[in-house]
Structure formats: structure tokens, C-alpha cells
Chains A and B, each alone.
Chain A
Amino acid sequence: MKDRNYTHSIQIDSNKCIGCSRCMRVCSTKAIRIVDGHARIQPERCVDCGECFRACPQRAIYAKDDGLTSLPPGHHTIALVPSVFIGQFPPGYSATQVLDAVRQVGFDEVFEVEHAVDFMKRAYSAYAESHLTRPLISSYCPAVVRLIQVQYPALTGQIMRLKAPHDIASLFLRKSRERRNGAPEDDAPEKISIYYITPCAAKSVAASAPVGEEKSFIDGTINMTTVFNLALKILRGQKETMDRKSVADMSPDSVCWSLSGTEKKYFPGRSLAIDGMDNVIEFLEKLELGQITGIDFLEMRACDQGCAGGILCPGNRFLTVERLEKRRERLRMLKEEHRGTVENSLLEREEELHAHSGVGPVYPRDGLLLDEDMAKALLKLQRIDRLLTYLPGFDCGACGAPECRCLAEDIVKGKATISHCVFVQRVMEKNYKLSPEQSFAVIEKVWGKNRLDKYRE
């Protein structure tokens, strides 16, 4: 089985893109090429990690969300806010205040995602007992899940088949409006829409095109930057401060779940927390070779510092981590003041949630495949090797591909020609195989029609 749903949140605005190729060079899965003067994403390879978004000096790369305007009128709307959102604000604004500001942005209700983490913690222990594959890889970060599908197909079976906390939170919000027999509560609104305030592009895709599920429990996503701007405006206009929470409504360290290092503590045995795309890739390489033994669980986050480093988080990731750690301490204090009790209503529905917390198997994607047919693929590979002996090998990127090897692959796939290489061009011109006009045309094909205008007299 193969997963061929290549929906993506990361998009390139060709009107803003100047074809500088910075994104192409930073892409971990070599998914970007320059065509007609603009960066273009190969959908089968992209994992929505957002490294290109960070590198773009033109802000031409954006994360597509559903947006506030898509909130359906007449619905009871709920914003699912991850704790990391609260970490974007200076400590002067309390969590209660920040969440209320989100409500004022245009929702009927606000719910903090990390309430579901207390459920996840229990689910992990149960999962560890019933699934004996080791090491299991966390399904929390959707960019990591997609990276494994594209680059490490042999490891897809090791991804934990559990929903993410925001899905569980969404499920709870729906269930809590039903009676135990499934009938709606008397005061339940007829239609509810649950929107997730997302810190990254990958989480948006996880909602619109979930892996291992037919449909997500999330109705839509809104980029965190959008909500941040509106919420901050509201907070700045407020004179009086609000009352703070007086009881801990979730266990203290739940607020740090999206960061690096908390989740791993809840899987029994030896576990590691790995964050940052490069670190994740380095480890998965070793894991796929069978060089890693004796590890039970891998918490992996595509972003450095976990979701605090999400591409849609406006604040500084280290300040965010500090703020969330402070919040954890405050919850710890509240918990102690109430003799160690936590009042998390989500856990009252634990059994119901448990029944729906699993997802289907995760299948590999075709990102690296040369050809379905083995013999044809072999011929293509031989051609790639032969081509590589002609190409200069220092990955200048002038052909519009990030590496000489990528150009060779593109050539055998019929997406480029050897004359795309500027070095080969020189030799061809010398041998009268290519006219200066022809190589001019090739450069324009990659870098755009007017790219060479400034050199004209």
C-alpha cells in the first residue's frame, strides 16, 4: 500500500518569489526546483516542515490555512489553542487573559489543547503494553511522520498509531455535548465548528489531509500569527487585569508536551527526545540501518525546541520555552495548594475517548522512486551514475536543482536536460554543440525570462 495524498499547506506565491533559490538549498527532502524564475515544490517529496518558509527573504512562501473568514456563520465556534500560543506573550498577560482574547477574536468558546495531554499520558502506557515493536516513534509531529513516509519507508510501521492531542481535545469537545447514550444534551448547540490555532504548516496538513484517518476531528485551522496579531491588539486595549486560574485544570508538565523532552518521559523504558530537522534525519538514518538498539521510544520534533520553534510562532522560541516552564511551575503550585489534585474534566470521558484514539496504518510515499518497474529503474540508475561523471559535483544550483545528483535524477525522469548544467554548457559551446543563443534560452527557462536583462547594453 502507498499513501498518495500529497496535500500541502506550504505554498509559493509566484508573484512574490524572485527565484533566489535559498529555499531550494535548505530543503531537507530536495523537494524544490527553480522553473521559469520561480521556486516550485515537488508534492511527492514535500513534508511541510517549513524550512523553506524560514529561509525565504521575500516572504513568498506561505502556509495555507482555512482562515478566520471560513468560520461558518450560525455555528457554535470553538478555538483549540495550544499552550505554545500562550508562550508567545509577555508574562504580564495571564493564560486566562490570553485565552479570553482569543475568544474575543471571534469564537464562542476557547479550549486549551493540552487538556488532552493527561489522556495521552495514560494512553502511552497502555499502548506500550499492547504494542511490542521497538523503538516506537511518536506520531505527534506531522512533519516527522511525513518525513518517514517519504525518506524512511521501512520505518512507517514503527510510528505510533495514536491521534495527536488536538484531535483528542476536539473529540472530547464533541463528546461532551452528548449524553452517554449519544443523544445531544438539551442545551447543546446544533452545529459546532472546531478550529485549531496552528503553530506550523504541518499541523494544518494533518487537519486537512490526516495520515491514517479518513477525516480529522478538526474542522479547520488558523495560522497562529493571524490570531496572535488580533489577540495582542485586544490585550493592549484592556485596562483591567483578569482573575487568574485558582485550580490546576491539567497536570503541570502537560503545558510543555509540545516542546522537546516532556513527551518522552511518559513512555516506559529508554526513550530519547530529538528536535530539529537535521538531528531527526541523522537519527532516522542510523535507525533504518539497524544501528540503534535497546531504545523503546523516540520523541521527534521537526523544529528546534519543538513547537516553540514552529514557523508560525511569532515569538522567540527560547522565551516561549521559558514562559511555558514558568506556567508549569505555577500549575504545580496550584496543584500543591489543592492537595495534589488536578481538575481536568476531559479525563471523565477517558473510556469514550480511548475507543476513538487510534489511527489506521501509515503507508510509505513514492518520493524517492525512480520507476515502478525494477528493470527500468535499474537502467535509470545506471544513467544517473553515468551523468554524474559529467556533472561538476559541487552543487552550485545554477541548473535549478539543489545538487548535481538531483539534476541527474531530473534528467532521467525527463524533467530536465544535461544542458541545464552551466559547465556542460561551456563545453558544448566550445564543441559547437550549443549556440550562445541556445544556452541563453536554457538559462532563461530555469531562471526566468527577464533574468538576464540587466546584462544587456
Chain B
Amino acid sequence: MRIEYHIEGGDFSAAGGASSAVRKTLKQFNIAPLLVRRIAVVLYEAEMNVVAHAYHGTMTVDIRPTGIYVVIEDSGPGIEDIDKAMQEGFSTATDEVRQMGFGAGMGLPNIRKNCDEMTLTSTPGVGTRLEIQVNF
């Protein structure tokens, strides 16, 4: 079952909508509540990355009996150094974004910690693609 969501860059007030919708859907399944929560946290962080850094993006969620597969693709500045971006505490967020309480450099490390598989690819100046898998 595939669901697609649009994410608008810079729209902090509406951020969390996509991850919230996925979480509501998952609650209808017989999945351990804490696993649902883990997935929600992963998707929220991923969604926030698009909101905080990119111009716009899409989140495609595929729910299968074995797990959830998510692709978040955005058009934006991209990531220059992926290894560095994966380090805890590293962030390129602007002061403006930081003032709103984001940009602590924990987003990507948090995603990696909470999912079973993660692939991050990026072309600087074009955009970023993040693939996430969480097994049920």
C-alpha cells in the first residue's frame, strides 16, 4: 500500500503533517505501539530535514506486511559531505532555523538509530534522496 505526501520547504507551521498521517494509519495495524512511535520519530525527523533545508519534496510511504519503506526526495541545496552530515551535532542549519528549535545536528543520526536500513544519496545543488526501511 503506497501513500504519497508533499512537503513544503520552510513551512514550519505545517511540518509534521505527513509523519502524523502515517502514524495514524499504522495505529490501525497490529504493530507494537513503541515500534509505531519509532517509525513516527524517523519520519518526523526526515520530514523536518526537508522543511528546514530544501525547497520542496515528496515522501512516499509503502506499507507491506513485513515492514515500512519510505523514500523522501527533495529538490534543494543537497548535502556536500554525507559522512559529516551523519555525525551527531553537525548541522548547516541557519540561525533562523536554529532559533525555532531545530538544527541541533541530531536529525540524521536519530534516523539511523531508529531504522533498520538507511540509504542517503545527494547531488549538491540539485537535491537529496533518503531511503528508509523499518521492519515490523
Residues of A within 8 A of B (CB): 151, 153-157, 285-286, 288-291, 364, 368-375, 377-378, 381-382, 385
Count B interface residues, CB 8 Å: 22
Given contact pairs A289-B19, A291-B16, A381 touches B25 in the complex (Cβ within 8 A):
yes
Q: CB within 8 A of A288: which of B1, B29, B37?
A: B37
A364 contact set on B, CB distance < 8 A: 33
A sample of 28 cross-chain residue pairs with beta-carbon separation below 8 angstroms, ordered by A number, consists of A151-B27, A153-B33, A153-B36, A154-B33, A154-B40, A156-B33, A157-B34, A285-B20, A289-B16, A289-B19, A290-B41, A290-B44, A364-B33, A368-B27, A368-B28, A369-B28, A370-B29, A371-B29, A373-B30, A374-B29, A374-B65, A377-B28, A378-B1, A378-B63, A378-B64, A381-B25, A381-B63, A385-B1
A155 contact set on B, CB distance < 8 A: 33
Assembled-state Cα–Cα distance A286/B23 (Å): 11
Assembled-state Cα–Cα distance A286/B37 (Å): 12
In the complex, the chain B residue whose C-beta lies closest to that of A366 is B30
Assembled-state Cα–Cα distance A372/B20 (Å): 22
Assembled-state Cα–Cα distance A385/B40 (Å): 21
User: Is B40 a contact of A290 with CB atoms below 8 Å?
Assistant: yes
Assembled-state Cα–Cα distance A151/B30 (Å): 13
CB proximity of A133 to chain B, nearest CB, Å? 12
Assembled-state Cα–Cα distance A289/B43 (Å): 9
CB proximity of B52 to chain A, nearest CB, Å? 14
Residues of B within 8 A of A (CB): 1, 16, 19-20, 23, 25, 27-31, 33-34, 36-37, 40-41, 44, 63-65, 136
User: Is A290 a contact of B27 with CB atoms below 8 Å?
Assistant: no
User: Is B30 a contact of A374 with CB atoms below 8 Å?
Assistant: yes
User: Is B1 a contact of A153 with CB atoms below 8 Å?
Assistant: no
A373 contact set on B, CB distance < 8 A: 30
User: Is A369 a contact of B40 with CB atoms below 8 Å?
Assistant: no
CB proximity of B129 to chain A, nearest CB, Å? 23
User: Is A153 a contact of B30 with CB atoms below 8 Å?
Assistant: no
CB proximity of A342 to chain B, nearest CB, Å? 42
User: Is B136 a contact of A289 with CB atoms below 8 Å?
Assistant: no
CB proximity of B47 to chain A, nearest CB, Å? 10
User: Is B28 a contact of A381 with CB atoms below 8 Å?
Assistant: yes
Assembled-state Cα–Cα distance A151/B34 (Å): 13
User: Is A289 a contact of B44 with CB atoms below 8 Å?
Assistant: yes
Task: Give the total number of A-B pairs whose CB atoms are below 8 A apart.
Answer: 63
User: Is A378 a contact of B34 with CB atoms below 8 Å?
Assistant: no
| 6 nearest A-B residue pairs (beta carbon) | A153-B33, A154-B37, A154-B33, A290-B41, A375-B65, A370-B28
A372 contact set on B, CB distance < 8 A: 30
Assembled-state Cα–Cα distance A335/B77 (Å): 66
B41 contact set on A, CB distance < 8 A: 289-290
Assembled-state Cα–Cα distance A236/B63 (Å): 66
Chain B CB within 10 Å — which of A157, A373, A375, A377 has the most? A377
In the complex, the chain A residue whose C-beta lies closest to that of B136 is A374
Given contact pairs A289-B23, A289-B40, A289-B44, A381 touches B30 in the complex (Cβ within 8 A):
no
User: Is A153 a contact of B44 with CB atoms below 8 Å?
Assistant: no
Given contact pairs A288-B37, A378-B65, A371 touches B16 in the complex (Cβ within 8 A):
no
A375 contact set on B, CB distance < 8 A: 65
Given contact pairs A154-B37, A373-B30, A377-B28, A288 touches B23 in the complex (Cβ within 8 A):
yes
Assembled-state Cα–Cα distance A288/B22 (Å): 12
Chain B CB within 10 Å — which of A157, A290, A364, A382 has the most? A290
Assembled-state Cα–Cα distance A71/B10 (Å): 63
B16 contact set on A, CB distance < 8 A: 286, 289, 291
User: Is B29 a contact of A378 with CB atoms below 8 Å?
Assistant: yes
B29 contact set on A, CB distance < 8 A: 369-371, 374, 377-378, 381
Assembled-state Cα–Cα distance A40/B86 (Å): 53
CB proximity of B36 to chain A, nearest CB, Å? 6
Question: Contacts A288-B37, A289-B44, A374-B65 given; 8 further ones with Cβ under 8 A?
Answer: A154-B37, A154-B40, A155-B33, A156-B33, A289-B20, A369-B30, A373-B30, A377-B30
Given contact pairs A372-B30, A374-B30, A154 touches B36 in the complex (Cβ within 8 A):
yes
Chain B CB within 10 Å — which of A151, A291, A364 has the most? A291
B20 contact set on A, CB distance < 8 A: 285, 289
In the complex, the chain A residue whose C-beta lies closest to that of B27 is A368
In the complex, the chain A residue whose C-beta lies closest to that of B3 is A385
In the complex, the chain B residue whose C-beta lies closest to that of A380 is B28
In the complex, the chain A residue whose C-beta lies closest to that of B42 is A290
CB proximity of A51 to chain B, nearest CB, Å? 20
